[in-house]
């Protein structure tokens, strides 16, 4: 997440702003303090793990990476993720070189070793079995660790090899017996505690990674075994050009629902259900989309109409090409015209829907503009 501010939304149109150090500083992860809901643990691209307050109290730096000693910059290492175990009163974080750090919520170091060969992208404590820790890395592995017997990189309980670098590994909230992983190309995997060595389900889903894209991380529904992930279309993986939000049944691997907002044409990397599961929050650039349960059903119906219309447009384009009335390029032009008309129709319908697009971009833009003017002066 390459933002220079952190927004905490208390309720619609009311938020608290935590200022960071400027454009380009990444935020690897955020977790609320289990002992004080007005504070948040922040893993930052400046190489610090910090406890920040939303009430204006001074920051508390819990850990700082070793200084690299270079003259042209001062950070070769940085923290990429953070998680908190309330029952163990313990924090974990990982850096871009594979180091995993465990500490108490007071900042007292418990364990620090290089457990992966490369960047640790994600780490999570199992909520029901608090001694079980999952870590994911760009070294193509996800590893499970027993905190009671963790010594070095060889002391893992299970190692799950992937074809590509891995963005995340989440335990399912229903019973914490499944693990959901997302790689950096086209696989979403579901592992089960019955057999951690083999994925129970592999879902082909286009979400290829590039440098300036917030990593796509598939997440769970809190009440059911449903998976949500944003789509970055790729014809090499599966057909379709719409940048939808896809909801899958984890048990069958089938699509349960797809969401599309015509006013938000970008890649929606961040998707998270509310604790009750009746609202979905989606992040794209500096925009936030909020979907209610009713809007999800209505939008899925409209998305199907759009896809059906696009298929009809392609059929007409191919028919005209076969009769010599259009070349291949013209056929594609007809297809684009048909889809364009359908998108306009969907946009007009979307204006009357209740999908809320929170305009954080305008406020953030003003802050960034002022900051830039100050720099220019």
At 194-229, the pLDDT tens digits run: 999 999 999 999 999 988 889 999 999 999 999 999
Q: What is the pLDDT of residue 82?
A: 97
| Average pLDDT score over the chain | 81
Q: Give the residue-averaged pLDDT of 244-265.
A: 93
**Of 105-109, 279-283, 312-316, the least confident:** 312-316
Q: What are residue 300's phi and psi, to 5 degrees?
A: -60, -40
Residue 254 has pLDDT above 90, yes or no: yes
pLDDT 10s digits, 4-37: 444 444 444 444 555 555 545 688 999 999 999 9
Percent of the chain scoring above 70 in pLDDT: 72
pLDDT per residue over 86-134, tens digit each? 999 999 999 999 999 999 999 999 999 999 999 999 999 999 999 999 9
pLDDT of residue 319: 47
pLDDT bin (cut points 50, 70, 90) of residue 317 is very low
């Amino acid at each position: 997440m390459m933002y220079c501010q952190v927004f905490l939304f208390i309720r619609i149109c009311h938020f608290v702003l935590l200022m960071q150090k400027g454009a380009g500083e990444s935020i690897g992860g955020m977790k609320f303090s289990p002992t004080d809901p007005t504070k948040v643990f922040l893993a930052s691209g400046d190489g610090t793990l910090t406890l920040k307050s939303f009430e204006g109290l001074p920051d508390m730096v819990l850990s700082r990476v070793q200084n690299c000693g270079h003259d042209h910059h001062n950070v070769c290492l940085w923290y990429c993720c953070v998680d908190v175990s309330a029952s163990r009163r313990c924090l974990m974080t990982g850096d871009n070189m594979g180091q995993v750090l465990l500490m108490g919520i007071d900042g007292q170091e418990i364990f620090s070793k290089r457990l992966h060969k490369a960047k640790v992208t994600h780490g999570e404590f199992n909520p029901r079995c608090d001694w079980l820790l999952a870590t994911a890395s760009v070294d193509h592995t996800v590893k499970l660790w027993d905190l009671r017997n963790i010594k070095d990189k060889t002391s893992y309980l299970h190692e799950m090899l992937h074809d590509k670098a891995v963005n995340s590994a989440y335990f399912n909230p229903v019973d914490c017996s499944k693990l959901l992983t997302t790689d950096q190309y086209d696989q979403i995997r579901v592992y089960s505690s019955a057999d951690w060595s083999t994925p129970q389900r592999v879902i082909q889903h286009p979400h290829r990674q590039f440098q300036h894209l917030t990593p796509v991380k598939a997440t769970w529904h809190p009440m059911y075994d449903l998976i949500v992930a944003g789509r970055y279309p790729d014809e090499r993986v599966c057909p379709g050009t719409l940048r939808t939000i896809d909801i899958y049944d984890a048990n069958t691997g089938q699509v349960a629902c797809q969401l599309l907002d015509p006013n938000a044409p970008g890649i929606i990397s961040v998707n998270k259900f509310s604790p009750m599961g009746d609202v979905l929050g989606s992040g794209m650039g500096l925009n936030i989309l909020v979907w209610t349960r009713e809007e999800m059903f209505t939008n899925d119906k409209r998305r199907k109409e759009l896809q059906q219309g696009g298929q009809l447009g392609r059929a007409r384009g191919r028919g005209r090409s076969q009769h010599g009335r259009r070349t291949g390029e013209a056929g594609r032009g007809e297809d684009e015209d048909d889809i364009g008309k359908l998108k306009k129709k969907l946009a007009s319908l979307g204006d009357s829907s209740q999908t809320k697009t929170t305009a954080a971009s305008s406020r953030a833009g003003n802050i960034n503009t002022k900051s830039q003017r100050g720099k220019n002066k």
